Amino acid sequence: MIRVLQNLVRRWSELSLALQFLVAGGFCLLAVMLVVGSWVTMQIRDGVIRNSAATTALYVDSVIAPLLPDLRKSEQLSASAKQALDETLGQGALGKRLVSFRLWRRDGTVLYAKDASLTGRRFALSDNLQAAFKGSVVAQFDTFDGDESKEKAIGVPLLEIYNPVREPWSGEVVAVTEFYEVADDFKATLASTLQSSWLIVAGTTLTAFLLLSGIVLRGSRTIDDQRGALRRQVSELQGLVTQNSALRHRVQRASRRATALNERYLRRIGADLHDGPAQLVALAALRLDSPVFSGDGESRPAEVEMIRKTLQDAMREIRGICTGLVLPQIETAAATDILRLAVEEHEHRTRTSVTLTLPEHLPELGPSEKISIYRFVQEGLNNAYRHGRGQDQAVRAGMRSGRLFVEVSDGGPGFDPARAEGLGLAGLRERVESIGGQFETLTGAQGTRLVISLSVEEQA
C-alpha cells in the first residue's frame, strides 16, 4: 500500500502544474459547483413553493373564510356551512384545482373534509399542522405522509398547503385548512427554474475554471520555459566546466613540458655556442698568443687576416644563433604581414619558392598568437625544406567556424610523427596548446600538412 502511494505521489509530481491544476482544480470546482448548485436550487425550490403556497392560500382563504362560522364559539360546522363548502369545492375553478380539502380544529378534529368519511374524526397533529396552528403557512410539493395514500394514488403532482384560519378581529388562529392543489403548471415552472439555476451555476463555474486554467497554463508554460532554459544553462555550464578542467590540465601539462623544453633549448644554445663561436674565438686567441703573430715576419699580416676571418665567422655564427632567438618587430604587425614576413625570410634563406594563400582580411591577434603563428610557419617551412626537400611548399590561412587556422604543407615523402617530432615541433605544440589552440600533424607518402587553429572570437 505504501509503495502504491509512493508511486502515485511520484507520478503526480512528474505532471506539469497545468495538468495538476486541471485534475485537482477540476475536482474541487466540480464539488463546489454541486454544493453551491444544490444549495441554490434548494433555496429557489423552497422560495418558489412558499410564494406559490402563500398566493394559493390567500386565494382559498378569500373564498372559504366567508363561508365559515365563528369557530371559537362553534365546535362543529352546521349543515348549511358544510353544504356551502361542498358546493364551493365541488364546482368551478377552485373545485378543479383542489383535489382534497380538510378543515382542522386545534384538538386534531377534522371539522370538514372533501372526503366525507374523514369528517368528525380525530387525529394526532402532524408537524405541519402544529406549525400552521402557530401561524405559519406550510407547503410541500409532491411529498406524502403515510395517511395521505389517497392523494398519492391520484398520480398527478400536488402542492400540499396548510393555511391558518384567523379571527378577523383578533388575528388568532382558530383553525387550519389543509388542501392539495393540482400543480402541473407549477411543476413545469419549478423544473424550468431549477434547470436555469443549474445552468447558471455550471456556466459560472466553467467560466471561472477556464479563466483560472488559462492563468495557470500560462504560468506553467513560463515555468517550463524557464526550467528548460535553466537546464540548458546548467548543461552549458557543465560543458564549460569540463572544457575548463581539460584546458587546465592541458595548460599544466604544457607548462611542465615547456619547462623541460626550455632546459633543452638552453642546453642546445649552450652547445651551439660551445661548438661554434666559442671554438672560433678560442682559435683566434691561440693565434694571438702564437710566436708567428708576435713576430715581425712576413707571415704576420696573413696571420692577422686569418684571426680576423676567424672572428668574423664567430660573429656570423653568433648572429645566426641570435636570429633563431630574437623575433622581428611583430607586435604592431597584422597577421597577414607576419605570414608574408615568415615566408619571405624562408625564401631568401633557402632560395626556394613558397605558395602563400591568404584571405583579404584576418582578425586582429594578440602578441602571443602572433609569435605562435610566426614560429609555426618558420619551423614548418624549415621542416618542409629539410625533410620534404622543399617540394611544393605552401602556406595557407583563413577562418573556419570562428577559428583562425594556419596550414604549412609540402610534397615530400612524409615522416613518422612519433619519431620525427623532435624539439621544434614539440615546442610549437606546447606553445600553441598553452594559449588554447590545437596542433595537428598529417603526413603520408603524398606529403605533410601541419595545421594549427586558434580561437580569435575575443580578438576579432
Please state the pTM of the whole predicted model. Answer: 0.41
Tell me the CB-side half-sphere exposure of residue 257, using CA atoms within 13 A. Answer: 19
User: Which burial class, exposed, middle or buried, applies to 244 when counting CB atoms under 10 A from its CB (0-12, 13-18, 19+)?
Assistant: exposed
DSSP 59-90: HHHHHHGGG---TTT-SS--HHHHHHHHHHHH
* Largest Cα span, the chain: 190
- Pairing between β-strand 173-182 and β-strand 355-357 as defined by DSSP bridges: unpaired
Each residue's pLDDT expressed in tens, for the chain with a length of 460 residues: 788 877 877 777 767 777 777 777 778 888 888 888 888 888 887 777 777 777 777 777 777 777 676 666 666 777 777 777 777 777 766 667 777 888 888 888 888 888 878 888 888 888 888 888 888 888 887 666 655 555 555 667 788 888 888 877 777 888 888 888 877 777 777 788 888 888 888 888 888 888 888 888 888 788 888 888 998 999 999 989 998 888 888 887 777 777 767 766 777 676 667 656 776 676 667 666 666 555 555 666 777 777 777 777 778 778 766 765 555 567 678 888 889 988 898 888 778 899 999 998 888 888 878 888 888 888 888 888 878 888 899 999 999 888 899 999 998 888 776 665 555 677 778 778 877 888 888 888 788 899 999 887 544 3
Give pLDDT tens digits for 184-210. 777 777 788 888 888 888 888 888 888
CA distance 332 to 352: 28
187 near 157, Cβ under 8 Å? yes
332 near 292, Cβ under 8 Å? no
C-alpha cell at 269: 644554445
